[in-house]
Amino acid sequence: MKKLFFLLTLISSFIVTAQETGSIKGIITEESGMPLSGATVYIKALDKGTVTDYDGKFMLDNIAEGTYNISVSYVGYGTSTTSVSVTGGNTTTLNLTLNESNSLLDEVVLTANKQPQKITDVPATVNVITARDIEEFPSFNIGELASRQKGVDFVRSGVLGTGINIRGFNSAFNSKNLQVTDDRLSTLIATGLPMGSFSTVTKDDIARVEILLGPNGTLYGPNAHNGLVSTITKNPRQSEGTTVALGFGNQSVFTTRLRHAEVINDKFAYKFHFEHSQGKEFNYADSVYVGTKAYKELDLDRDFESSKYGASLYYKPTKASELIGYYGHSKSNNIGITSAGRNQIKDWTIDVAQLKFVSKHFFANTYYTWSKTDDTYAMNQRTQNYVSFIENGFSEAEALERSFTEQWFPISPGFGVPLQRGALFKDDSQRFNAEAQYNNNWNDLYVTLGAQYQLDMADSKGTYLFDEGGIDLDQTGIYTQLEYKLDDSGWGFLLGGRIDNHELYGSNFIPKVAITKKLNNGTFRATYGKGIAVPSILNLKGNLFGGLVIGNGEGFTLTDGTKIGRLDVETINSYEIGYKGQLSEKLFIDANAYYNQSDNFISPLVNVADAANGNNVTHVGDTPIGELVEGSDGSFVLTYLNFGSVDTYGVDVGLNYYFSNSFRTTFNYSYFGRELDKDDLANDGNLDGQVLESELPINTPNHKFSLGFHYNKGKFYSAIYGRYVQKYDFFSGINVAAETQDQDGDGVNEIVENARVGRTWNYGQLGGFTIDANAGYNVTDQLSMGLSITNLLNAKNREFVASPIIETLVSFELKYQFSLKQKTATVN
C-alpha cells in the first residue's frame, strides 16, 4: 500500500511539473529561406540557450511558465529579440528569419573575444567587411575594400599589391598588424610579414573580414601590436552550392575562380575552392645605383601570377560541436617591395594544414604551415653584382650566372676577387601552432581561459639567415579574460591578461582593461591595452648580401670594447575612449579617440661600425665576425637597434546615414598626430648625434577622409567612394618618398624631391585624392555581372614607396552561382 501511494505521488508530481513547464521550438532561417545551422538561441533571464541543428531547428525544454525575451544571433546577421509566452504542458513555436544586418548596432562579430558578440558590446573599435560587400565587389583583389574602412591606412603598391596599416609606424616591412584567417596566422615565418596575395583563401569563400583597431595582444599574442585583421571563411552548411567566376581587366588581368560546398548529411559537409589570377604590373623604373650611375633592375619581370586552392571537411560529433579539417595551397610570382629594394618573387608556395574543434564552451586548434621558394632574388643586389662583372670584362653569360651569389671587387687593373654578395633567397621554413580555449559564464560573469604554442622553424638554406641546420624558436602564451555584464544598468567590465614566454625574450605581460556603458541607442567604452612586437627571425638572424646586413639577436662588440645590446621587444600602451550608437533614426556613428605611448622601436638598418676611426665590429655575440662571415673585417655592418619613445594620438569618426533601405552614405575621417622629443638622443635611430623625423618610422598622414554612396535595389547594386589622403613623407630603409627638406637645420637640403637621395630616387610625397566605383546587375538568380573601376579619374598618385603611379584599373566579372539548398527547397 505504501509503495502504491509513493508511485501515485510520484506520478502526480510529474504531471504537475509537466503542467508548470513548457517548451519552445522553431526554425531559424536567413533571407532566402536557407536554414541557419549553428545560430544561437538564448533566454537571458534563465541563462539558458541552445544552437540550431543542420536544418536550422532548435528545441528548449523545461521552461517555466512565463513570458521571456529570446535573442537569436548569428555571425554576419542582425540579432533578433522576440518576446515569447510559455504555458505549462505546451510547446510554443518560434520561427524567425535573420536578415543580414542593415543596422550597424545589431551586427554580430567574432574576432574581438574569439566568440560571437554583438558589436556594441565589444570594447574595441571594429570595422567589418561583410559578405555582401565582398559579393558586390567585382574584382579578385578584395584588399581594396579596406580603403573604405575608418582608421585604416590603405596603400596600393601596384595592380596586385594592396596593404593596410593602423595608427602609424608603417614601413615596407610592416609586421605590426597581425593577420589571421580562420584562427590561423597569415604571416610569413621568417619575416613575420602578412601573407597578402600568398594567402591560400579565395574571394568566393570569404564570409567576412573583421578589422580591429589598436593592440589586441591579450588574446592573440605578440605582433597584434597596432591592430588585427581577421578573415573568416564560409561554413558549407550555410553556403551550399557552386560558384564559377571569370574576371577580366586592363593590365592584362584575368582571373578564374571555382567554389563548391555541399552538405552530405547531418554529420558531414565539405567545400573546396580554386583561383588563378594573372596580369602585368604597371611600368615603373626603380633605378639601381652603382656609385652615381643608374641601372635598370636586372631581369625585371612585370608579369604576375597567383594560383591557390583548398578544401575543408566539416564533421559534427554532436549538434553543438564541430570538427573541421582544412588544407590549402598557394603559388605566387610577382614583385615584392622591401626596405632594401624590390624582390622578384619566383614560384613561392605556401601550404597550410589545420584541424580545429569548436563547441559551446571549448575550442581547440592546431595547424602547420610550410613556406617554400628556391629562385626568389633581390633585384637591387643582383643588379649591382651583374654590373660589377660586366664593368670588369666578364661575359654576359658569366655575369648573369654569378650575379645571384657574387660581386666582383677590383683590386688593380685586370685583377680582383669575388665577394659573397648573395642576391638569391631560398626558403624552406615551417611553423607549428596549437591553441586550446575554454569559455563559460555564470550569470553575469563571463570567463575565458586559453593557451597558445608556436614553434617557428626557419630555413633559408644559408641564403639570407645564419641558419645552418635551421633555426627553431618557440613561444608560449597563457591568457585569461573576465567580463562582468550588468544588463539592467548597462555597465560592463573587462579584465584580461596574458603572459607570453619567448625562447629569447623570456616572459612579457600583456594586460587589457575595459569599461562599457550602454547609453540610449549606443554604447560608450573606455579601454587600456598593451601590445608587443617581437623581432622577426630576419631581424635576429639575418645574413644578407654576404654579411653586409646582420641580424641583431646576440649584440655586437666594437674594437674599442663598446657593447651594442641585442634587440628587445617593442611595446605600445594604448588608451582609448569611444562611442558606437544611433544618433537618430537614420544616422549611426562610431567614433574613438586614442593616445599611445610607444617605446623601444626597431630601427631602420644602421651601420654600427666606425671604420674611419678604426672602430670595427669584432664580435657578433661571442663569435668573432671573421668566423661568422668569411672574409669580413667588420668595417661595415648594417643591423637593427632598439631606440627611442614617442607618443601618438588620433581620432577616428565613422558616420552612416540611411536615406532608405536601398540608399546610404558613409563618411569616415581620421586624424593622426605625434610628439617627438628631438632633444632626447635616445630617439637618435642612426646614432649620428641628431634626432631626425626620417629616423622614426611614422610614415602616416595627419588627415584622411572618405565619402561613399551605396545603392542596392532589386537586381542592381552600386557604390562610389572618394578618398583623400593628405600628402605625407615616407622613409623605409633605402626608400624615400618625401618633399624637399633640410632635416638637420644646417641650411642644406638632405632630401630633394625628384632627385636621387642616397641609393634610390625620390619621387616625392605619397597621398592624394582618388575616386573608386563599382556596380553590378543580377541578370538571373544565378547569373550576375559587375564592373569595378579603381581611380576613376586617373589621378596621378603614388601610394607607396618603390611603387609606380597607380593608374586607372578596370575589372569586369561574370559570376554564376547555383545553390543546392534552393534546389532542395524547391523539390520539397
Report the CATH number that the domain containing residue 51 is assigned in CATH.
2.60.40.1120
**Nearest partner of 534 among 473, 479, 575, judged by Cα:** 473
Cα–Cα distance for residue pair 650/656, rounded to 1 Å: 20
Cα–Cα distance for residue pair 229/163, rounded to 1 Å: 11
Cα–Cα distance for residue pair 664/772, rounded to 1 Å: 16
pLDDT, averaged per 10 consecutive residues of the chain (828 residues), comes to: 49 50 85 70 79 76 86 73 85 81 59 66 83 88 89 90 87 82 92 89 92 85 84 90 95 96 93 97 92 93 96 92 96 92 95 94 95 95 95 94 93 86 93 95 89 95 88 94 88 93 88 91 92 88 86 90 89 94 89 93 81 87 87 85 87 93 93 82 70 76 95 92 95 90 84 91 94 95 94 93 93 89 41
Alpha helices in 43-92 (DSSP H): none
**Nearest partner of 578 among 123, 12, 144, judged by Cα:** 123
**Nearest partner of 271 among 320, 211, 314, 228, judged by Cα:** 314
Task: Quote the domain boundaries for residue 58.
Answer: 2-99
Per the listing, cell 610569413 goes with 188
Q: Write the DSSP assignment of 264-283 as a string of letters.
A: -SSSEEEEEEEEEEEEEPPP
Cα–Cα distance for residue pair 282/794, rounded to 1 Å: 13
What Cα–Cα distance (Å) separates residue 95 from each residue in 67, 78, 155, 718, 827? 17, 15, 45, 33, 21
Helix (H) or strand (E) holding 694: none
Cα–Cα distance for residue pair 103/358, rounded to 1 Å: 28
In this structure, are 44 and 137 located in the same domain? no
Last residue of a domain, one of 56, 72, 99: 99
Cα–Cα distance for residue pair 288/380, rounded to 1 Å: 6
Cα–Cα distance for residue pair 34/795, rounded to 1 Å: 44
Cα–Cα distance for residue pair 631/546, rounded to 1 Å: 9
Cα–Cα distance for residue pair 473/393, rounded to 1 Å: 45
What Cα–Cα distance (Å) separates residue 799 from each residue in 154, 691, 737, 766? 9, 26, 10, 5
pLDDT at 481: 92
Degrees to nearest 5, angle at CA 785 with 781 and 789: 145
In-domain check, residue 629: no
The DSSP 8-state label assigned to residue 626 in this structure reads H
The DSSP 8-state label assigned to residue 101 in this structure reads P
What Cα–Cα distance (Å) separates residue 73 from each residue in 28, 31, 106, 108, 115? 10, 14, 9, 7, 12
Note whether 601 and 576 are within 8 A (CB). no
In-domain check, residue 548: no
Note whether 629 and 543 are within 8 A (CB). yes
In this structure, are 94 and 126 located in the same domain? no
Question: Helix or strand or coil: residue 745?
Answer: coil
pLDDT at 350: 97
In-domain check, residue 552: no
**Nearest partner of 55 among 75, 32, 27, judged by Cα:** 27
pLDDT at 110: 65
Q: Which three cell numbers stand for residue 371?
A: 613556406
The number of residues making up the chain comes to 828
**Nearest partner of 124 among 55, 265, 226, judged by Cα:** 226
In this structure, are 31 and 163 located in the same domain? no
In this structure, are 149 and 72 located in the same domain? no
In-domain check, residue 168: yes
In this structure, are 151 and 187 located in the same domain? yes
pLDDT at 823: 42
Helix (H) or strand (E) holding 119: none
**Nearest partner of 245 among 822, 776, 699, 820, judged by Cα:** 776
Cα–Cα distance for residue pair 79/71, rounded to 1 Å: 7
Cα–Cα distance for residue pair 213/125, rounded to 1 Å: 6
Per the listing, cell 586559453 goes with 450
In this structure, are 149 and 20 located in the same domain? no
pLDDT at 13: 47
Cα–Cα distance for residue pair 561/456, rounded to 1 Å: 34
C-alpha count within 13 angstroms, C-beta hemisphere, residue 585 = 3
In this structure, are 86 and 122 located in the same domain? no
Cα–Cα distance for residue pair 537/521, rounded to 1 Å: 47
Report the CATH number that the domain containing residue 373 is assigned in CATH.
2.40.170.20
In-domain check, residue 73: yes
Q: Which three cell numbers stand for residue 654?
A: 565613422
Cα–Cα distance for residue pair 782/241, rounded to 1 Å: 11
Cα–Cα distance for residue pair 180/531, rounded to 1 Å: 16
SS3 assignment for 273-335: EEEEEEEECCCCCCCEEECCEEECCCCCCCEEEEEEEEEEEEECCCCCEEEEEEEEEEEEEEE
In this structure, are 83 and 134 located in the same domain? no
Partners of 372 in the β-ladder: 349, 428
**Nearest partner of 204 among 144, 304, 147, 272, judged by Cα:** 272
In-domain check, residue 562: no
What Cα–Cα distance (Å) separates residue 181 from each residue in 184, 200, 210, 657? 5, 10, 10, 31
In-domain check, residue 564: no
**Nearest partner of 802 among 730, 701, 750, judged by Cα:** 730
Degrees to nearest 5, angle at CA 277 with 276 and 280: 150
In this structure, are 59 and 179 located in the same domain? no
Cα–Cα distance for residue pair 474/502, rounded to 1 Å: 6
Last residue of a domain, one of 34, 66, 99: 99
In-domain check, residue 547: no
Write 59-68 long-range contacts (CB < 8 A, 24+): 59/23, 59/24, 59/25, 60/23, 60/24, 60/25, 61/21, 61/23, 62/21, 62/23, 63/21, 63/22, 63/23, 63/24, 64/20, 64/21, 65/20, 65/21, 65/22, 68/43
Task: Report, in this order, helix, strand and coil percent for the chain, each rounded to 5.
Answer: 10, 55, 35
In this structure, are 291 and 361 located in the same domain? yes
The DSSP 8-state label assigned to residue 673 in this structure reads E
Q: Write the DSSP assignment of 529-595 as a string of letters.
A: EEEEEPPPHHHHHBEETTTTEE--SS-EEETT--EEPPP--EEEEEEEEEEEEESSSSEEEEEEEEE
The domain total for the chain is 2
pLDDT at 262: 94
The DSSP 8-state label assigned to residue 234 in this structure reads P
Cα–Cα distance for residue pair 302/308, rounded to 1 Å: 20
How do beta strands 341-359 and 424-442 pair? unpaired
pLDDT at 576: 96
Last residue of a domain, one of 36, 71, 99: 99
In this structure, are 684 and 775 located in the same domain? yes
In this structure, are 721 and 678 located in the same domain? yes
